[in-house]
Amino acid sequence: MRHMGPSQLQAWLAAEKGPAQLLDVREPWEFERCRLEGSRLIPLAQLPARAGELDPGRTTVVICHHGVRSLRAAAYLEHCGFEDVVNLSGGIDAWARTLDRSMALY
């Protein structure tokens, strides 16, 4: 599993030739408050039942509020055979504070 901060992830996503799947593992109320464009919500508690909805052959970027739930989700996905998993260090909070100050904080 790779770890990337917001700036590093933003640059990596911009440079990628194939699209990554952005997986947000927060709760629905958190996702409604703020999210990265193109991200897909699967709350952490639902991930074991819904991991089959994701493509294990694509790069998967896992996002949560501060990076703790996403770290757990990323480890789970790797255990399930996902080939390339990236954890957003600092989560959506770090993204909002460093890259997108218009994004809601909570």
CATH no. for residue 66? 3.40.250.10
How many domains does the chain fold into?
Answer: 1
- What is the domain range of residue 28? 2-98
Confidence bin at 17 (pLDDT 50/70/90): low
Mean pLDDT in residue range 41-64: 97
User: Is residue 105 a part of any domain in this protein?
Assistant: no
Per the residue annotation, which of 44, 51, 64, 77 is the catalytic one?
A: 64
Residue 64 catalytic? yes
Q: How far apart are CA 105 and CA 64, in angstroms?
A: 13
Task: Tell me whether residue 106 is in a domain.
Answer: no
User: Has residue 16 got a pLDDT over 80?
Assistant: no
How open is the CA angle 83-61-93, to the nearest 5 degrees?
155
